[in-house]
Chains A and B, each alone.
Chain A
Amino acid sequence: NAGVTQTPKFQVLKTGQSMTLQCAQDMNHNSMYWYRQDPGMGLRLIYYSASEGTTDKGEVPNGYNVSRLNKREFSLRLESAAPSQTSVYFCASTQPGAYEKLFFGSGTQLSVL
């Protein structure tokens, strides 16, 4: 059982470049999330998708876009990367309604130079 698969694990970008972080879960969860973790800080919600076909902004959405391609996949796109977006990104999923724990991907270490 793979759980939440997140790619890539590491990425280095130059300022202004674009990229897409991919996330897929095989647990049939309705809700999926993208978080970022900066040094010394907790996870902050970027975007989330409560169900297939819906997406909503979280706490820090500026500079990002998302796509809920289907129930399994939820991608995060940086259109024009900035050094302030250097961070560790986590994808997570859960089945809300029963206070289920979050299932996390392994994270993406992104550096923007």
Chain B
Amino acid sequence: AQKITQTQPGMFVQEKEAVTLDCTYDTSDPSYGLFWYKQPSSGEMIFLIYQGSYDQQNATEGRYSLNFQKARKSANLVISASQLGDSAMYFCAMSFNTNAGKSTFGDGTTLTVKP
């Protein structure tokens, strides 16, 4: 069975500093996609970044990067130069091409950015 584990229920970071949110996954399927979504207090789900299991390079999207360590089955999200607007819940998710695109989510990490 596929499983996503986010071990940090809550994290604090000072404004303008970088922060890493941890995500580990468990699957025996060699082909999968890893995603990070942001959920601000308003409740909507916002896509941040994607990494394919066969991608050789770590994904980057602006201030977001994904530290993908396939052997360790980890896909940590790095946010550089944190902003107050980054305060939100962050979810790691995994999907499979053979599974109708279903995604499995972790329990999330609440990030609070301090001024």
Q: Is A42's CB under 8 angstroms from B100's CB?
A: no
* Contact of A13 with B by CB under 8 A: no
- Nearest-CB residue, chain A, relative to B100: A50
Tell me the bound Cα distance from A106 to B39 in angstroms: 11
Q: Which of B5-63 contact A (CB under 8 A)?
A: 6, 9, 33, 35, 37, 43-45, 47, 50, 52
Tell me the bound Cα distance from A63 to B82 in angstroms: 42
- Nearest-CB residue, chain A, relative to B34: A99
Q: Is B102's CB under 8 angstroms from A41's CB?
A: no
Q: Is B108's CB under 8 angstroms from A100's CB?
A: no
* Contact of A74 with B by CB under 8 A: no
Indicate the size class of the contact surface on chain A: 20 to 34
Q: Give min CB distance, B65 to chain A, whole Å.
A: 17
- With beta carbons under 8 angstroms apart, the residue of A40, A48, A97 that contacts B107 is A40
Q: Give min CB distance, A102 to chain B, whole Å.
A: 6
- With beta carbons under 8 angstroms apart, the residue of A33, A92, A99, A106 that contacts B43 is A106
How many A-B pairs have beta carbons closer than 8 Å: the answer is: 66
> In the complex, what residues of B have CB within 8 A of residue A109's CB?
43
Tell me the bound Cα distance from A58 to B107 in angstroms: 17
* Contact of A31 with B by CB under 8 A: yes
The 8 A CB mask of B77-108 against A (1 = contact, 0 = none) is 00000000000000101010100111111111
Q: In the complex, given contacts A42-B6, A48-B100, A102-B45, what are 7 additional A-B residue pairs having Cβ atoms less than 8 angstroms apart?
A: A33-B103, A42-B106, A42-B108, A58-B102, A95-B101, A96-B97, A104-B45
Residues of A within 8 A of B (CB): 31, 33, 35, 40-45, 48, 50, 56, 58, 88, 90, 92, 94-97, 99-102, 104, 106-107, 109
Residues of B within 8 A of A (CB): 4, 6, 9, 33, 35, 37, 43-45, 47, 50, 52, 91, 93, 95, 97, 100-108
